[in-house]
Every structure is written in structure tokens, then in C-alpha cells.
Structure 1
Amino acid sequence: MMDKDLKKLVKALRAAGYSVEETRRGHIRVSKDGRLLTTFSGTASDRRSLANGLAPLKRDGFQWPPRR
């Protein structure tokens, strides 16, 4: 089960054209054009895990948090 921050992120990723799928073990896999970019834990135990997962997405051009 995802927390609310991860749900918002998944929604924004799908809107930006990324492929997002949940594995059987609850992890979130993010890919684009057939290449895996990052994986998020469904239940993060580390406060840095979201930032560490976002790093490859930001290098790919994804903006988080979205600009207003």
C-alpha cells in the first residue's frame, strides 16, 4: 500500500508519460521508452528513499515537486 506522497508522485509520473507499475511485492517500478529508470519501495522505511528514487527521474527531466 502506497502512502499519500507516493500516490501523488505516481499520478504525476503517469501524466508526464512514464510507465508505472506495481510489483507483486509492493514496489513501484518506473520506466520510460522500455528502460527502467528507478524503483520505489511501497512502504519506505528511510526518509531519504523518496529523494533517492527521484534522482534518476530528475536527471531524465522530470520536475518534482511540480512548478505552479
Structure 2
Amino acid sequence: MTALPEIGTLMVDASRRDRVGEFRGVAGPYWSLRPVCGGQEWEAAPENVRPATPAERLSSGTARANARSRGEAL
């Protein structure tokens, strides 16, 4: 079994073209991820998810800051 990441950890879902999301918890056999810039959570199979690299975390942070400056992020 794959160890659970901490809530809020940035993860990459390879089954969704390397989409980055925050780990939100477990839903049955799936992990719930939430888009960094806000939006609807999605479920991913744990075997398709990996921790975000430092570059992916930086890119996600920049995207969130840009969205907030445009009034788009929650």
C-alpha cells in the first residue's frame, strides 16, 4: 500500500496529463485531489499519483498567484 501524503501536499496525476493538485484525502480506493487554482476536486488512482517536483511546485505556486491577481482563485 502507498503511504498517504499529508493533506495539502502537491501531487501530480499522471493519468490526467501530469495535472497538479493538492491532496485532500481518500475516497474509497481513490485519492482526492483539488486543483491548485481552485475548482472541482477529482479522484485519482494512487498508482497514478506522485509527489510534485520542486519545479512543479514552483510553477503551481506561480499559477495560483497569477490567478489570484486576476481574481480567479478562491
TM-score tier by shorter-chain length is: 0.3 to 0.5
Structure having the higher helix fraction is 1
TM-score with structure 2 setting the length: 0.33
Instruction: Find the structure with the greater CA-based Rg.
Output: 2
TM-score with structure 1 setting the length: 0.35
Larger relative contact order, structure 1 or 2 (CA cutoff 8 Å, min sep 6): 2
Structure having the higher strand fraction is 2
